Amino acid sequence: MVELDESNFDAVVRVVDYIFFDFYAPGVVTASSSPRSHRGVSMISFCAVMLDEAAPVLTGLSTPIIIAKVNADKYRKLGSKYGVDGFPTLMLFDHGVPSEYTDSRKADLLIEYLKKLVAPDVSVLKSDSWIKSFVEAAGINFPLFIGFGHGFQQQRISPRIFDKFPALVSVKPKYNEQSVFYGPFEGTFLEDFIRKSLMPLTMPTNRETVKLLKDDGRKVVLTILEDEWDENAPQDETDEVINRQGKRLTSERCQQLSWKSVL
């Protein structure tokens, strides 16, 4: 991680395609009850540790992301220029264009999020090994969409669940789930398939998934479980019902003891 100040900030932003900034204030102590804290540990210290952990991975990407920090308490004019009004504030500069990062500060999730941003919109995969490398490099936290055209050889896809072309496969590595779309590929059909495939059929209830459900807009089937040991017991049956409904529904599962915290 590099530290910048007012004398070199603009020059670095101009020449580096992707740079992720931590605007921090070393003299500020965050109370454990504050939103900017993590289990009683100052969020400022927590962010610094997570960014140090993430930096070698992000700078080693084929499209590197440089991690930098700025003492925004000392260089207040610089912080004010970009609307920094709290610490720590994390911000990604994409070819000089800033955007605030407000998602998870944990190193692994931060890495996955930023890798997604610098990945090409479309990658051409010419062999099965390329597909495997693409899926491994993408990580497990985001859905993938892989299209197979008429020119792709049938024997390369024997482990998969489709038998004709063209086909679009939706893969969710984190949930070991996939689905196939055979068309039509015009109008709103493709858009509807992608929208309904962004989330798995059934997923646990937490802050992140509740936000996804709110944005999705579909009706939700909520399964409340007795304890963690039967967490997956009704999942197959629930998934079958949702599939029969053409994915017009989505599903969450929640342990009984966690129900009050969800509300």
- For 121-179, the pLDDT digits (tens) are 677 777 777 777 777 777 777 788 888 876 655 545 544 556 778 888 888 887 788 88
Domain boundary among 198, 227, 254: 198
Do 193 and 110 belong together in one domain?
Answer: no
Do 85 and 38 belong together in one domain?
Answer: yes
Do 150 and 231 belong together in one domain?
Answer: no
Domain boundary among 87, 118, 149: 118
Domain boundary among 63, 84, 118: 118
- Half-sphere exposure of residue 150: CA atoms within 13 angstroms, side-chain side: 0
CATH number, domain of 104, equals 3.40.30.10
Residue pointed to by tokens 């059929």:
201
Helix then strand then coil, in percent of the chain rounded to 5, is 35, 25, 40
**Is the model's pTM score more than 0.75?**
no
Work out how many domains the chain is built from and give that number.
Answer: 3
Q: In sequence order, what are the residues at sequence separation of 6 or more whose Cβ sits closer than 8 angstroms to the Cβ of residue 104?
A: 110, 113, 208
- For 56-97, the pLDDT digits (tens) are 999 888 889 999 999 988 998 988 898 888 888 999 999 999
Q: Range of 65's domain?
A: 2-118
Q: What element of type H or E holds 168? A: strand 167-172
Do 226 and 185 belong together in one domain?
Answer: no
